[in-house]
Chain A
Amino acid sequence: MGYLDWLIAVPAVGALVVPFIPVSEERRSLIRGFGLAISLVELVLAAVVGVQFNSHASGYQFVTDVHWIQSFGVSWFLGADGITLVLILLTALLFVIAMFAMKGVKDFRAYVGWMLLLEAACMGSFTSLDLFAFFVFFELTLIPSYFLIADFGMGASGKAAVKFFVYTFAGSALLLVGIVSLVFIHDSETHRLTFSLPALMDTHLSGTTQLLLFLAFTAAFAVKTPIFPFHTWSPDAYRAAPIPAVVMLAGVMAKLGSYGIIRFDLELFPSTARSLAWLMLTLAVIGILYGAVVAAGERDLGRLVAYSSLSHMGFIVLGIFAFSTEGMSGSILQMVNHGIYTAALFLLLGMIYERRGTLDMAKLGGLQKRAPIFAAVFMLVVMASVGLPGLNGFIGEFLILVGTFITHRWWAVVAVAGVVASAVYMLWAYQRVFHRSQADASPFGEIKLKEALLVAPLLALIVLLGLYPAPLLARIDPTASAVVQHVLAAKGPVSDGASLPAVVKGVK
């Protein structure tokens, strides 16, 4: 078994074992320890993959390819390139933190079980190069996240969980149809039934077919990311889910969407991706500005961060569809960066909620006076999210914007307004929560050692990746360049090749 197999197997087996660990109710913290141990092993595994990764290659590494269900062309086909690698590292890290972050949970057994299953599903989604396996893992993320939101969430979590489920499920249904159709067409062309991504990339598709398939695939990813206007599940879900689950939802699972776009939309339907770039870029820019405007109108911190996430994911989509290496590398790096500062932001929101029982900004205020260190930590994360140079949010944003500017100038010009807008809503929120004198007399405890240790790795990464992102970029850039080349080199769709010159002009 290769490293990638272990990455999936370790948490999967862990999830299966959890229900049967023979400990009594009084010693259930052992189960928590078990979950922590598994996630730490996973982090070590991911780190080993990172160290052994050949940063000069753009192809798939650590490939496992064995027949799984031979009769209908499904194989256990895993591989990692630069994109996969950084997302694996992010996932492994955030799961460790989410495991440590769980608090006030009654049913540890279920909680740890679902979390481990979610981790296995995420790892599987990021590494699968077989469309069948990808779909299974992609769907598998839904079940644990549903239960995590519904059973452990706060407030109207049941309703939010249903909304989340229905939205993502609708997208997935289309994805399923898309996958099956694509496999079928490929089969009728080559008489080879396969779900393998590299094989399916050679399928000849007519313009309309390619367009429909692109839309079907994109629907699923657009909901997950989320891309405007498919985002309305996210504020409810982010607000209702328990903090460790939001860390996973916003930090990791949102990246499943943008990852899916790069890995499947761009690899399988490059010429449609190119001809629909204007649409995706426009949706991205709308998302950036719209998310920011709505965030500015929010009174609830949790929902505010959800909308800011919509805005920031818009930047990531923008960089992807700019089709320049700078933009693509920036987007991939930004997936990691966004995961890190959003996770930190939600952890801090959790600490506020724990102390005050509310995230309504009108009911908070003056916290900096009471907890200066907590406020300073919060400020650092806010600045990372605003994209202050020297912190990690800046580099991705800068690369995305410069990459978009050189290929699709006017979209970048409009998107730059998002840089101003993020400062508006973030600093406004900070002012309402931390400045002023205290709105009510109840105390607000300073950050505790345990809490500090929880966010410390994220804070360190915010600074480190802001000043020295080279190790990640060196691994991302070859892959990003290869993807962009693939898209730009793709010939037009079979039937309407005539429009090709216009398309190419539009790109460069």
Chain B
Amino acid sequence: MGAVGFVVLFPLLGFLVLLTFGRRLGDPVAGWLGTLAVFGSFVSAIVVWLARLGNEGHPYVLRLFDWFSAGGLHVNVSFRVDGLSVAMILFVTGVATLIHLYSIGYMKGDPLYHQFFVYLNLFVFSMVVLVTANTLPLAFLGWEGVGACSYWLISFWFERPTAASAGKKAFIVNRIGDTGFLLGTFLVFEHLGSVSFSRLTAGSLNLSPDTATAIVLLFFLAAAGKSAQLPLFTWLLDAMEGPTPVSALIHAATMVTAGVYLMARLSPILALAHTADLVIAIVGVATAFVAAMAATAQTDIKKIVAYSTVSQLGYMMLGIGTGAYTAAIFLMITHAFYKALIFLGSGSVIHSLNGEQNIRRMGALKKYMPITTVTMILAWLSIAGVPPFSGFFSKGAVLENAFGDSPLLWAAGVITALLTAYYMGRLVYVVFYGTPRFEEVTHGHDPHESPSVMTIPLIVLAAAAVIGGLLNLPVSGFGFLGSWLAPVFGTAQAAYPMSAGLKDGLMATDAVVALLGVFLSWRAWGGVSENPALERKIFFNGWYIDAFYDRAFARTGTAVAEVADTVVDRQIVDGAVTGVAGVARLVGGAGRKVQSGLVRSYLLIMVGGLIVMLGYVLTVAAR
């Protein structure tokens, strides 16, 4: 199981080699090298997984060295191999390999080609560290590392002011969340005397409910930043300024799920904090609904998918809040498949339309891009939760537990499920069916299917999205993921007693709702590309949440900062201190002389002072 070291090492090596020689290697060697590094990591992850088969009970810790220690705080660099971290590294490195491969084609011809893979490898390294770290500060290294890579990659095309601002915004909003991570870590240290995950095991913690609630809410603040929950989700929309493979890898499949992972990792504490769990569940389902509504009215293809991601992350948090950790992780993994696929499919469309992202200028692409079309439809059916595609099982598991916790949470989740099937259907119909509306952007050339480095990842991901449900079938003996993760979550995992009939009823409801959503989207958008009645302005503008932040914080903050600089500091503070000094000088009677700027005066005063002191001391000594 020491192979976990290689899982971390390969992307790090890839990063270092590309950083040093990337420019010389150039297009496409740099891309292949970066892909190879991540593939090596994936293979190592499989080795770790195989080594664990059969002895899933006990976590294995690979300890490398002491990072820092002071006083009673000891932090080492160590990696944890248990069911949760293995599940994470498998899907993270697997999806990352495919997206690297895809990027070889997508980024072709970009002047900063090699640099893209430098960041991408560093991202994978940070992500892997985040999910395997055995101490909170090391996880924070990964956490901030992925944040920094996200910042660099969003503002990859930095000459576009919007891209530069979007990257900065992502980093800053995440930092707001990170204060929660830091304070949560401090509380854990204060109460447990350790910041190691080894100390956190279900049932063994002696924390008061208040402390546990505080810790959970602080970490949830961090998770809400990273996983784009209300009220911190707005950065993820702007993050679409980054190249599409980045959106797929970082802002859909992996990084944004880090908050969900973190909460799952802290499940022993969550189990002690019921109020906080309820908060998480409510925020999660509210995020899911709000974002799904916004997704129904977007015209930028990537914005639709971004809102969809926010919405799905809300579902995952709903799972966390209701104690359904396995369901949340299951949804995270299947979501990684179909959402990465949707992004890459969108990228394939954007690529063939010379960078066009407005769905109003697409349409009828089915004819020109058959592979993209078919895989996108499969992704749609998966995310919609149509049986037997993967989303049906994973979302179903979350909703079932939500029902066990509170039928209200479940109802909100089901309504959102209807919206999900609908808005993705709208995307598929408007982009791939109907009339062609892309003449302006293609100038008469027909759009073309993407090269095979780009379509192969689409096909592989489509296969995974279709059959992903097999990971955890709701049939006894086939819940592989559930039994794999059981030792990690243990008693923290909620168990809601339900009759078999109720379970079947809930599953049937999910299936009906999904099919209804598909049907509604066909009715509304089959052959239609615009319908103001269904594309309300308030939803198009994302409920005006971002506009509100901009007014309330960004502009006010800027004004405050400028006043602080030009008025407060230069006049008031400086003036006050100088004023006091001025009075002292007047009293001393040497004001003019001091102000003249002659150093001699000052030196004289200083030497004079020294002489006085010497004289004083000498008289004392001569006594």
Enumerate chain A interface residues (CB-CB to B < 8 A).
71-73, 136, 139, 142-143, 146-147, 150, 158-159, 162, 165-167, 169-170, 172-173, 176, 179-180, 183-184, 187, 193, 228-232, 235, 290, 293-298, 307, 324-326, 329-330, 333, 366, 368-369, 372, 383, 388-390, 394-395, 398-399, 401-403, 405-406, 412-413, 416-417, 419-420, 423-425, 427-428, 431, 434-437, 467-470, 473, 476-477, 480-481
Q: Which of B69, B176, B563, B620 contacts A473 (CB 8 A)?
A: B69
Q: Which of A165, A232, A467, A473 contacts B599 (CB 8 A)?
A: A165
Q: Which of B183, B569, B573, B609 contacts A416 (CB 8 A)?
A: B183
Q: Is the CB of B68 within 8 A of A473?
A: yes
Centre residue among B165, B175, B584 by max chain A CB count within 10 A: B175
CB distance from A441 to the nearest CB of B (A): 15
A71 and B619 alpha carbons, distance in the complex (Å): 10
Contacts A165-B602, A402-B73, A402-B189 given; indicate if A187 touches B620 (C-beta within 8 A).
Answer: yes
The stretch of B154-162, B199-207, B282-290 in contact with A is B154-162
* Residues from chain A with Cβ under 8 Å of B621 in the complex: 71-73, 193
A405 and B69 alpha carbons, distance in the complex (Å): 16
Q: Which of A390, A417, A420, A431 contacts B168 (CB 8 A)?
A: A431
CB distance from B159 to the nearest CB of A (A): 5
Q: Is the CB of B561 within 8 A of A366?
A: no
Contacts A176-B609, A435-B159 given; indicate if A232 touches B569 (C-beta within 8 A).
Answer: yes
A165 and B604 alpha carbons, distance in the complex (Å): 13
* Chain A residue nearest in CB terms to B596: A162
A63 and B66 alpha carbons, distance in the complex (Å): 31
B597 within 8 A of A: yes
Q: Which of B158, B175, B182 contacts A401 (CB 8 A)?
A: B182
B498 within 8 A of A: no
Q: Is the CB of B603 within 8 A of A423?
A: no
A398 and B565 alpha carbons, distance in the complex (Å): 28
Q: Is the CB of A402 within 8 A of B614?
A: no
* Residues from chain A with Cβ under 8 Å of B165 in the complex: 431
A368 and B165 alpha carbons, distance in the complex (Å): 15
Q: Which of A71, A158, A389 contacts B145 (CB 8 A)?
A: A389
B164 within 8 A of A: yes
Contacts A170-B584, A405-B190, A419-B175 given; indicate if A294 touches B569 (C-beta within 8 A).
Answer: yes
B444 within 8 A of A: no
A sample of 9 inter-chain contacts (CB < 8 A) reads A139-B606, A142-B606, A229-B576, A231-B573, A389-B137, A412-B183, A416-B182, A435-B158, A477-B69
A139 and B573 alpha carbons, distance in the complex (Å): 25
B534 within 8 A of A: no
Q: Is the CB of A326 within 8 A of B179?
A: no
* Residues from chain B with Cβ under 8 Å of A476 in the complex: 70
* Chain B residue nearest in CB terms to A383: B148
* Residues from chain B with Cβ under 8 Å of A232 in the complex: 569-570, 573-574, 577-578
A184 and B619 alpha carbons, distance in the complex (Å): 11
Q: Is the CB of A395 within 8 A of B71?
A: no
* Chain A residue nearest in CB terms to B139: A389
Q: Is the CB of A325 within 8 A of B72?
A: yes
Q: Mark B51-91, 1 if CB is under 8 A from A, else 0.
A: 00000000000000111111111000000000000000000
A136 and B609 alpha carbons, distance in the complex (Å): 11
Q: Mark B567-590, 1 if CB is under 8 A from A, else 0.
A: 011100110111001001000000
Report B337-373 residues with CB < 8 Å from chain A CB.
none
A184 and B622 alpha carbons, distance in the complex (Å): 13
Q: Is the CB of B179 within 8 A of A419?
A: yes
Report B453-506 residues with CB < 8 Å from chain A CB.
none
Q: Which of A290, A297, A406, A423 contacts B171 (CB 8 A)?
A: A423
A489 and B566 alpha carbons, distance in the complex (Å): 45
Q: Which of A72, A389, A401 contacts B614 (CB 8 A)?
A: A72
Q: Is the CB of B137 within 8 A of A398?
A: yes
Q: Is the CB of B164 within 8 A of A431?
A: yes
A232 and B578 alpha carbons, distance in the complex (Å): 9
* Residues from chain B with Cβ under 8 Å of A424 in the complex: 172, 557
* Residues from chain A with Cβ under 8 Å of B597 in the complex: 158-159, 162
Q: Is the CB of B186 within 8 A of A176?
A: no
Q: Is the CB of A419 within 8 A of B178?
A: yes
* Chain A residue nearest in CB terms to B619: A72
The 4 closest A-B pairs by CB, nearest first: A325-B71, A297-B565, A297-B561, A329-B70
Q: Is the CB of A434 within 8 A of B189?
A: no
B552 within 8 A of A: no
CB distance from B138 to the nearest CB of A (A): 8
A93 and B454 alpha carbons, distance in the complex (Å): 51
* Residues from chain A with Cβ under 8 Å of B72 in the complex: 325-326
* Chain B residue nearest in CB terms to A143: B603
Q: Is the CB of A297 within 8 A of B172?
A: no
Q: How large is the interface on B (under 10, 10 to 19, 20 to 34, 35 or more residues)?
A: 35 or more
B616 within 8 A of A: yes
Q: Is the CB of A325 within 8 A of B158?
A: no
Known: A180-B617, A419-B175, A435-B158. 17 other contacts (CB 8 A): A143-B603, A162-B597, A180-B613, A229-B577, A294-B561, A297-B561, A297-B566, A329-B71, A389-B145, A398-B182, A406-B189, A420-B178, A423-B171, A431-B168, A435-B155, A435-B161, A473-B70
A403 and B190 alpha carbons, distance in the complex (Å): 10
B545 within 8 A of A: no
* Residues from chain A with Cβ under 8 Å of B71 in the complex: 324-326, 329, 403, 477, 480-481
* Chain A residue nearest in CB terms to B158: A435
Q: Is the CB of A389 within 8 A of B140?
A: yes
A142 and B175 alpha carbons, distance in the complex (Å): 39
Q: Is the CB of B144 within 8 A of A389?
A: yes
* Residues from chain A with Cβ under 8 Å of B185 in the complex: 402
B562 within 8 A of A: yes
Q: Which of A193, A307, A470 contacts B68 (CB 8 A)?
A: A470
Q: Is the CB of A296 within 8 A of B561?
A: yes
B605 within 8 A of A: yes
* Residues from chain A with Cβ under 8 Å of B617 in the complex: 72-73, 180, 183, 193
B50 within 8 A of A: no
Q: Is the CB of B172 within 8 A of A420?
A: yes
CB distance from A186 to the nearest CB of B (A): 11
Q: Which of B178, B574, B594, B599 contacts A146 (CB 8 A)?
A: B599
Q: Which of B176, B189, B190 contacts A420 (CB 8 A)?
A: B176
Q: Is the CB of A420 within 8 A of B581?
A: no
Contacts A294-B569, A296-B557, A470-B68 given; indicate if A437 touches B159 (C-beta within 8 A).
Answer: yes
* Chain A residue nearest in CB terms to B77: A467
CB distance from B340 to the nearest CB of A (A): 27
Report B172-228 residues with CB < 8 Å from chain A CB.
172, 175-176, 178-179, 182-183, 185-187, 189-190
Contacts A229-B573, A401-B186 given; indicate if A369 touches B159 (C-beta within 8 A).
Answer: yes
* Residues from chain B with Cβ under 8 Å of A416 in the complex: 179, 182-183
* Residues from chain B with Cβ under 8 Å of A172 in the complex: 606
Contacts A297-B563, A325-B71, A427-B172 given; indicate if A419 touches B605 (C-beta within 8 A).
Answer: no
* Residues from chain A with Cβ under 8 Å of B574 in the complex: 232
B141 within 8 A of A: yes
Q: Is the CB of A470 within 8 A of B140?
A: no
* Chain B residue nearest in CB terms to A188: B620
Q: Is the CB of A420 within 8 A of B175?
A: yes
CB distance from A180 to the nearest CB of B (A): 6
* Residues from chain B with Cβ under 8 Å of A435 in the complex: 155, 158-159, 161, 164
Q: Which of B172, B610, B618 contacts A423 (CB 8 A)?
A: B172
* Residues from chain A with Cβ under 8 Å of B151 in the complex: 427
Q: Is the CB of B155 within 8 A of A413?
A: no
CB distance from B427 to the nearest CB of A (A): 31
B564 within 8 A of A: yes
* Residues from chain A with Cβ under 8 Å of B558 in the complex: 296-297
Q: Is the CB of B73 within 8 A of A326?
A: yes
* Residues from chain A with Cβ under 8 Å of B68 in the complex: 395, 399, 469-470, 473
Contacts A326-B72, A398-B137 given; indicate if A166 touches B594 (C-beta within 8 A).
Answer: yes
Q: Is the CB of A170 within 8 A of B568?
A: no
B415 within 8 A of A: no
Q: Is the CB of A150 within 8 A of B179?
A: no
